[in-house]
Amino acid sequence: MNRINRKSEAGFVLVESMSSLLFYLVMIGAIGAIILMLFSGSKLASTEQEVGTIRLQVRQLYSATNDYSGLTTDLAKTAGAIPSSMIRGDGSVQNAWGGEIVIEPSDSTKNFQITIKEVPQSEAVKLAMFQSGTWVDVLLNDTSLDEADNLLTAATEASADSNTITFVSN
């Protein structure tokens, strides 16, 4: 009689072990998803901070004049206006998602613009809304975001692949 109980218990232990293993795998997957979500938010936060730094540094660089003529990404990099976290080993200036950063005068040399390329759709709307109302203009995929309906416009203009966001400052 003892032998029969042991055989039935052996199968039960196997089922218990498999269900425990499955539970742990599901938990590891969930933790991985949370870490991925936090890492994505970290890229957005660092990009927002870096854009704010560039804006302040370029304004300080040109504080003696009201004209941004001659401003280029290379000049801003040489003058230390670009955070070192955006400068890659080959000297290119890129955002956290690997897209190019371009700094140049806008249509009017009284303003300058910071263009951020290859922003994923999941982050484009959030980044375009960064410091909303403090920029001369913000363009998402070449569409200006009006203050009245900028969130709706941003959500409509964000493409599925990659997006270009241009911040215009004075």
Span 61-76, mean pLDDT?
88
Specify the pLDDT at position 149: 59
What percent of the chain lies above the pLDDT cut of 90? Answer: 19
Share the mean pLDDT of the chain. Answer: 79
> What residue type is 56 in one-letter code?
L
pLDDT one-digit tens code per residue, 74-125 = 999 998 889 988 888 898 899 988 899 999 998 877 899 999 999 888 888 8
Type of residue numbered 77? K
Q: What is the band of 33 on the pLDDT scale with cuts at 50, 70, 90?
A: low
For the whole prediction, is pTM greater than 0.75?
no
3-state secondary structure of 9: helix
Residue 54 in this model has a pLDDT that exceeds 80: yes
The span from the CA of 39 to the CA of 35, in Å, is: 6
Q: Across the beta sheet with 101-105, what order do the strands follow?
A: 101-105, 112-120, 162-169, 137-140, 143-144
Strand ranges (E), 60-159: 101-105, 112-120, 137-140, 143-144
pLDDT band at 12 (very low <50, low <70, confident <90, very high): low
Ranges 31-45, 65-79, 119-133: which has the least confidence: 31-45
